[in-house]
């Protein structure tokens, strides 16, 4: 029992970290795709936002 409880919390922590990194990867890839598509539309607006 004393071994299982910390292991249980470690797995929760790993899942949370994995979920955060996955969300960050999705956000950055979406942001990059959005920026790339807006570059093709008009480069002036993206230059101002940068």
For 22-36, write each residue's pLDDT tens digit.
899 899 988 888 887
pTM score over 0.85: no
Residue written as token pair 């950055």: 28
Place of tokens 């979920």: 19
**pLDDT < 50 positions in the chain:** none
**CB-neighbour burial class of residue 46 (10 A; exposed 0-12, middle 13-18, buried 19+):** middle
Res 33: pLDDT: 83
Contact status, residue 40 vs residue 46, Cβ threshold 8 Å: no
Residue 24's pLDDT is: 92
pLDDT at res. 6:
67
CB 45 within 8 A of CB 34: no
């Amino acid at each position: 029992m004393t071994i299982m409880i910390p292991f249980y919390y470690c797995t929760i922590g790993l899942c949370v970290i994995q979920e955060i990194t996955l969300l960050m990867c999705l956000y950055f890839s979406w942001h990059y795709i959005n920026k790339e598509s807006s570059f093709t539309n008009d480069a002036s607006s993206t230059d101002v936002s940068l």
